[in-house]
Amino acid sequence: MAKPNVINKRELIHYAKQCLVESGIEKFTLKAVAEKAGVTQGTVYYHFRTKEQILVDIVQDICESSWEEISQVNEGIIKQSLQSAKSRCKEDSFFHKLFFTLMIAGFNNPKIKDHLGDILVNENRALSENLKKVWSKSPVDGVSIDTWGILFNAIIDGLAIQALLNRNFSVDNVYKELEHLFERLSSIQAEEDI
């Protein structure tokens, strides 16, 4: 029996994530979300007009939750950020499959493109703010901390592509070396502060 229209958008996103995990993106429908949540399709359509909209909102929810969790960390914030990114860097990464699928859809859908663009801007900003907690200034003259945030975000997304497409990709090794790179950049920055 369907629940009355007392379910909120956030709860529907939770059920939509469950549907994605259980059925995959290929079989994902708003009808399946309604069934999982025990509500009518009309309730789902009230909150989400299209399948793409709910998928974009799922990506946004995952990103916001991740950054909210990381922003609570006071010590080792970059290491925690890298561990969080590494945990999603897998051959079967639900998040990255969804993100890249939506990115491709965004090439032909300006609303999806704009929404994902906003998510990237927010991720870049969050990375930059976290770097500013660690670095008083950029470790390399002429490269702003904001640009470092964008570069690290691009590296993380690029590593996710590698993991999705290359079964032999060594996530552990690459993330270990990425952490070493960050530590080296931090030590350069610390030396310049002395």
**Which tens digits make up the pLDDT trace of 65-76?**
877 777 776 667
| Single pTM value for the model | 0.79
Residue 31 shares a structural domain with residue 68: no
The whole-angstrom separation of Cα 53 and Cα 66 is 20
CATH of the domain at 10: 1.10.10
Residue 66 shares a structural domain with residue 29: no
The whole-angstrom separation of Cα 80 and Cα 21 is 25
Tokens of 53: 């909209």
Sequence-separated contacts (24+) of 14-18 with Cβ below 8 Å: 16/54, 16/55, 16/58, 17/58, 17/61
Confidence of residue 98 (pLDDT cuts 50, 70, 90): confident
Question: Does position 194 have pLDDT exceeding 70, yes or no?
Answer: no
Residue 108 shares a structural domain with residue 174: yes
Residue 146 shares a structural domain with residue 116: yes
- % of residues, the chain, pLDDT over 70: 93
Residue 64 shares a structural domain with residue 133: yes
Please check whether residue 16 is in contact with residue 23, taking contact to mean a CB–CB distance below 8 angstroms. no
Residue 106 shares a structural domain with residue 138: yes
Domain that holds residue 96: 57-193
Residue 41 shares a structural domain with residue 65: no
CATH of the domain at 72: 1.10.357
Residue 65 shares a structural domain with residue 147: yes
The whole-angstrom separation of Cα 134 and Cα 74 is 10
- CA-to-CA separations, 124 to 25, 83, 119, 152, in angstroms, rounded: 26, 17, 9, 8
Residue 137 shares a structural domain with residue 61: yes
Sequence-separated contacts (24+) of 77-81 with Cβ below 8 Å: 77/130, 77/133, 77/134, 78/130, 78/131, 78/134, 78/182, 78/186, 79/179, 81/127, 81/130
Count of domains for the chain: 2
Residue 3 shares a structural domain with residue 40: yes
| DSSP class per residue in 96-135 | HHHHHHHHHHHTT-HHHHHHHHHHHHHHHHHHHHHHHHH-
Residue 131 shares a structural domain with residue 45: no
Residue 120 shares a structural domain with residue 165: yes
Mean pLDDT of 156-161: 93
Tokens of 141: 């003259």
